[in-house]
C-alpha cells in the first residue's frame, strides 16, 4: 500500500511537471509570436549601428557615435517630420517612438564609471572597493531628457476634442455650425504653403481654451530652454576636431575680413556697436559672421599656445625677443577674449541661429557615444518643442484676429485676410539633416568676402530682419547672462537635476 501510494505520488508529480512544461512552452510560443517581428526589427537596427550604417559590410561605415546620432535624428524625422497640426500622435507612432528610443538609449546603460565605495562584511569589517555606476553626465541629463520627452507627448495628447480645426490653404469651407462662412483667411508670409491653416469659430475660442493654450505654450517654452541647455553643454564638452583646426586660416585678419578685424583690434571696441554696423538682415549673413568669429577665437588661442610651447623649448636669454613674444601672446589673448564677447552678443541678439560649422564638425567627428546620445536627443526635443510652440502661436494669432473681427465687423470685412505676423515665420522647423559622412566642407575652403555694412544708419537690425532668423531656437532665447530659467529654477549649464518634473 505504501509502495502504491508512493507510486501514485510520483505519477502525479510527473503529470504536474508535464502540464507545467506544456504551459511554459505555450507561453513561450505566444510570447515569441508576439515579439517576433519586433525582435527582428531590433536586430536590424543594432546590426546597422554595429556596421556604421554600411549594411554591405565593406568597412566604409561611420563611427558608432555618429551612427546613433543619425539614427535618433532619422527616427525623429519619421515620427514628427509632419507635425503640422495640434493633435495627439497616432498610437502606432507613439509606440514606435518609445520602443525604438528605448533600443537606442539602452546603449547608455553600459557607459559607466568606477567610483570607490565601502563594503561592510557580516563581522563588521569594511573594505573599500570600486563599483560601477552610470557616467555622471548621463546619470543626470538622460532622465531629464526622458521627462522632457514625456511632457511634450503629454502636451500633444491634451489636444483632444479641440474647439479649433484645420483646413488646407486655399480651402474656405463653411463653419462647423452651418452658419455663414468665416471670411477671414490666414495667409503665411513665410511661404509655408504645405502647412494647414488653423480655423476657429466666429469670436474665437473660449477663454478657458485660450488660457490653456497659453499655459501649454509656456510649458513648451520651458522645455525648449532646458533642452537647449543640455544640447549646448553636450556640444561644449565635445573635442574640437583636428580637421576643423587644420582648415582655419593662419591669422585672424584672413578669418574675419578687413572690416571686423579693424574694429576688433581698435582701442575703442564695442561688440554691440560692431554688430549694429554689420548687415545682419538674414540668417545666412549672421551665421557666416558667427562662423568666422568662432574660428578666429581658435586661431588666436592656438597661436598663443604654440608660442608658449616654443618659448618653453627655447633656452635663449634674449630679453627683448622674449618680451616681444610675451606681448604678442597677450595681444592674441585679448583679441580672443574680444571675439568670444562678440560671439556671445551675436547669439544673444539672434538666438535663432543654426548650428555653426564648429558644432557640425564636432557632431561628425565625435567618438564619445554618451555625448552623442545627449546631443542628438536634446536636439530632436528642441525641434519638437519649437514646432509645438509655432503651431500654438499660429492658433493664438488666428484667434486674436477673429476676436478683433467680431468686435469690429466692418474693418474685418474690409480686409478679409489674416496675414501671419513675421514672428510666425518659425511655423515650421525643418528636421535636422543627418551629418554627412563624406566630410563637411571646411568653412574657409573658399575666399571669404568682407562683410558689408548695414544699409541702415548705424542702427540695430529691424524687428522684421531679426524675425527672419528662424530655426530650432527662434522662440525662446538665452538669458542675457547665458543662464536659463527652468520651472522657476536657474540653470547655468546643462548638468542639472529635474526633481520637480
pLDDT at residue 313, rounded to an integer: 52
Domain locations in the chain as residue ranges? 239-365+430-469
Helix residue ranges per DSSP H, 51-176: 64-80, 91-105, 136-157
Our measurement of the distance from residue 349's CA atom to the centroid of its chain's CA atoms, rounded to an integer in Å, reads 19
In CATH, the architecture of 239-365+430-469 is Up-down Bundle (1.20)
The rounded distance, in Å, linking the Cα atoms of 292 and 264 is: 13
Taking only the tens place, the pLDDT of each residue in 334-376 is 888 999 999 999 988 887 788 899 999 999 999 999 999 999 9
Residues of the chain with pLDDT under 50: 1-7, 19, 22-24, 26-34, 175-185, 189, 309, 311, 318, 322, 411-449, 452-501
Secondary structure class of 132 (helix, strand, coil): strand
The rounded distance, in Å, linking the Cα atoms of 458 and 274 is: 9
pLDDT at residue 164, rounded to an integer: 87
At residue 111, φ and ψ (nearest 5 deg) are: -95, 100
pLDDT at residue 228, rounded to an integer: 92
Could you tell me which residues are beta bridge partners of residue 109? Answer: none
Q: In this structure, are residues 12 and 18 in contact, taking their beta carbons and an 8 Å threshold?
A: no
Question: What pTM did the predictor assign?
Answer: 0.70
pLDDT at residue 75, rounded to an integer: 94
Could you tell me which residues are beta bridge partners of residue 115? Answer: 131
pLDDT at residue 46, rounded to an integer: 81
Cell numbers describing residue 181: 462662412
Secondary structure class of 375 (helix, strand, coil): helix
The rounded distance, in Å, linking the Cα atoms of 334 and 336 is: 5
pLDDT at residue 30, rounded to an integer: 43
Could you tell me which residues are beta bridge partners of residue 65? Answer: none
Q: What is the dihedral of CA 317, 323, 326, 327, to 10 degrees?
A: -170
Taking only the tens place, the pLDDT of each residue in 383-421 is 999 999 999 998 888 888 888 887 775 544 444 444 444
The rounded distance, in Å, linking the Cα atoms of 70 and 49 is: 10
Amino acid at each position: 500500500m505504501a509502495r502504491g501510494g508512493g507510486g501514485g505520488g510520483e505519477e502525479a508529480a510527473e503529470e504536474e511537471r508535464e502540464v507545467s512544461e506544456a504551459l511554459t512552452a505555450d507561453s513561450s510560443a505566444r510570447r515569441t509570436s508576439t515579439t517576433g517581428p519586433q525582435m527582428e526589427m531590433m536586430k536590424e537596427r543594432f546590426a546597422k549601428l554595429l556596421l556604421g550604417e554600411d549594411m554591405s559590410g565593406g568597412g566604409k561605415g561611420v563611427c558608432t557615435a555618429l551612427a546613433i546620432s543619425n539614427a535618433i535624428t532619422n527616427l525623429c524625422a519619421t515620427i514628427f517630420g509632419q507635425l503640422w497640426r495640434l493633435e495627439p500622435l497616432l498610437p502606432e507612432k507613439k509606440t514606435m517612438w518609445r520602443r525604438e528610443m528605448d533600443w537606442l538609449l539602452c546603449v547608455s546603460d553600459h557607459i559607466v564609471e568606477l567610483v570607490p565605495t565601502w563594503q561592510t562584511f557580516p563581522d563588521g569589517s569594511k573594505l573599500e572597493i570600486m563599483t560601477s555606476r552610470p557616467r555622471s553626465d548621463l546619470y543626470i541629463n538622460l532622465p531629464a531628457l526622458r521627462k522632457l520627452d514625456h511632457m511634450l507627448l503629454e502636451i500633444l495628447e491634451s489636444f483632444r476634442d479641440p474647439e479649433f480645426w484645420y483646413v488646407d490653404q486655399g480651402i474656405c469651407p463653411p463653419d462647423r455650425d452651418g452658419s455663414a462662412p468665416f471670411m477671414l483667411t490666414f495667409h503665411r508670409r513665410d511661404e509655408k504653403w504645405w502647412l494647414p491653416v488653423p480655423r476657429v469659430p466666429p469670436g474665437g475660442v473660449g477663454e478657458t481654451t485660450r488660457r490653456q493654450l497659453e499655459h501649454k505654450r509656456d510649458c513648451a517654452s520651458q522645455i525648449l530652454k532646458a533642452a537647449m541647455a543640455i544640447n549646448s553643454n553636450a556640444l561644449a564638452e565635445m573635442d574640437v576636431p583636428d580637421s576643423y583646426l587644420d582648415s582655419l586660416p593662419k591669422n585672424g585678419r584672413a578669418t574675419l575680413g578687413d572690416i571686423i578685424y579693424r574694429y576688433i583690434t581698435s582701442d575703442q571696441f564695442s561688440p554691440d556697436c560692431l554688430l549694429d554696423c554689420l548687415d545682419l538682415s538674414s540668417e545666412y549673413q549672421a551665421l557666416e559672421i558667427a562662423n568666422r568669429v568662432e574660428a578666429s577665437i581658435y586661431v588666436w588661442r592656438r597661436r598663443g599656445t604654440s608660442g608658449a610651447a616654443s618659448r618653453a623649448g627655447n633656452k635663449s636669454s634674449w630679453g627683448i625677443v622674449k618680451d616681444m613674444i610675451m606681448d604678442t601672446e597677450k595681444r592674441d589673448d585679448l583679441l580672443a577674449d574680444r571675439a568670444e564677447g562678440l560671439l556671445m552678443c551675436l547669439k544673444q541678439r539672434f538666438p535663432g541661429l543654426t548650428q555653426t560649422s564648429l558644432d557640425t564638425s564636432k557632431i561628425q567627428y565625435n567618438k564619445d557615444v554618451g555625448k552623442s546620445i545627449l546631443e542628438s536627443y536634446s536636439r530632436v526635443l528642441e525641434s519638437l518643442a519649437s514646432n509645438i510652440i509655432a503651431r500654438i502661436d499660429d492658433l493664438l494669432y488666428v484667434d486674436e484676429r477673429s476676436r478683433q473681427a467680431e468686435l469690429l465687423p466692418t474693418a474685418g470685412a474690409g480686409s478679409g485676410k489674416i496675414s501671419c505676423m513675421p514672428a510666425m515665420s518659425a511655423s515650421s522647423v525643418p528636421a535636422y539633416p543627418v551629418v554627412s559622412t563624406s566630410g563637411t566642407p571646411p568653412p574657409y575652403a573658399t575666399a571669404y568676402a568682407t562683410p558689408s555694412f548695414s544699409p541702415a544708419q548705424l542702427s540695430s537690425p529691424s524687428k522684421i530682419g531679426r524675425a527672419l532668423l528662424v530655426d530650432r531656437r527662434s522662440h525662446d532665447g538665452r538669458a542675457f547672462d547665458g543662464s536659463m530659467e527652468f520651472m522657476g529654477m536657474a540653470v547655468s549649464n546643462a548638468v542639472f537635476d529635474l526633481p520637480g518634473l
